[in-house]
Structure 1
């Protein structure tokens, strides 16, 4: 089908999240996860820390505050793995860097054409996942020098085990044998954002998974630990850069999957 008639794609996996949609308004992002952007129809304008970059592809680490003007283009957004392995694999393949933002992916034109094709056929999740694997880690390698502290891995596991519960940082620190200041430092070092911000991000993910599996938005948000729909909407907008209705209630429809 023509791209103008293709639905929005939102596919959710535990390791990565993929979203492909046209964007008519700038995204005001407070990055809670690393992200790869590919604009399918024209240049993006990325404004971060007072500097502006024009590009078709951008790699953004967690922890940034920035504005992305998509200029009505369709944009493929891949939220990358929480521990930074995907980011470490992609960073050497970007042509240039300004501050923390990398731009111009190698073989950029090929990947833009590939995601355009996938959008036009409303590709199934399995094909999107295989394409992301081929894009991010075609040789199934671990990035040189990459390592994540197993204690931080365990803290993320504990947060995921009971997403609706606000386990205190003291509880998490004691569970992994760290002081609170050391846990706070290590978590931000390995994940890129504070524990509270990561918890908010994961609750957004869990809410979206609930919607994909048939729950209404309010019930899914409450089950994920949000106090009410207003709390969910505010968090969604502050992290994702748009309202939940703008992301999920598309006029051309949305193809939603949770793996």
Structure 2
């Protein structure tokens, strides 16, 4: 398989709330308070700072006393540290992270570069599958179809997919659909419409998944004036 220059997306969300309920972000995340410092609290630590990096898969809550949170999710980034849940970003790295949160040109790519020791080239066929999943959240692509498109055995295809994206095949599909729905909601779409367009069974399914990954429900995001961007 030849390799591709596929760049996995980074989603930026901004919401005017004072806290996020306990949740596990599926992808590495950089978070900053809109009007002051922010704290990430897990079972083992509390980390406070202006800009924080949060590893995926660890339950935590977020508190921002002055209200307002900006977050960027870096799909496919292999989290680089040994810290339990979160660490402060400082100096030039913090400046780059803030630029990335405000969608400054080139900042997200530089942030990725500085936060990881390197990336593994993604085979072209796999890159095409990933692009399809991101572009078509309602697509019901099966594990067997993934293996067929990659022309390899199913178990090997699933291992390759996780190595490239950092998520299992099933979780990546759900996460891509969730980000699609979140961007629609932030743009003013009805929750039930966003749920249908992203392939969720109903609004209750979307709400459960939304809260488990973001720490707030779609209704809370709407009430907080959520905004979204992607690159």
TM-score (norm 1): 0.69
Alignment partner, residue 221 of structure 2: 247
Runs of 4+ with deviation above 6 angstroms:
140-143
RMSD, matched Cα: 3.6
Shift of 1:40: 4.1
Partner residue in 2 for 1:77: 71
Mapped partners of 2:135, 2:38: distance in 1: 37
Q: In structure 2, do the counterparts of structure 1 residues 141 and 110 end up closer, same or farther at CA, with 3 Å as the change threshold?
A: closer
User: Match of 2:119?
Assistant: 146
Q: What does residue 99 of structure 1 align with?
A: 84
Tell me the CA shift for residue 244 of structure 1: 0.5
Which structure 2 residue ranges, 5 or more long, are not aligned?
Answer: 1-7
How many pairs were matched up? 223
Matched with 2:3 is none
Partner residue of 2:40 out of 37, 46, 50: 46
Match of 1:134 among 107, 117, 121: 107
Determine whether 1:221 maps to 2:195: yes
Q: 1:40, 1:54 → 2: CA distance?
A: 14
Q: Deviations over 1:80-101 (max 9, x none)?
A: 2x222xx67xx6xxxx862363
- Residue 161 of structure 1: CA displacement? 4.5
Partner of 1:24: 18
Change (3 A) 1:137 1:71: same
Which residue of 2 is the match for residue 8 of structure 1? none
Taking a change above 3 Å as real, the CA distance of residues 214 and 221 of structure 1, as seen in their structure-2 partners, is same
Determine the C-alpha separation between the residues in 2 that align with 1:108 and 1:38.
13
1:248 positional shift: 1.7
* Counterpart mapping for 1:45-194 below 5 A: 45-48=39-42, 50-80=44-74, 82-84=75-77, 98-99=83-84, 101-107=86-92, 128-130=102-104, 133-134=106-107, 137=110, 145-150=118-123, 151-194=125-168
In structure 1, C-alpha distance between the alignment counterparts of 2:20 and 2:209, rounded to whole Å: 17
Hey, what's the Cα distance between the residues in 2 that align with 1:184 and 1:203?
19
Deviations 1:16-40 (A, max 9, x none): 2222233323432221222111224
Matched-pair contact (CA < 8 Å) for 1:38–1:58: yes
Shift of 1:128: 3.0
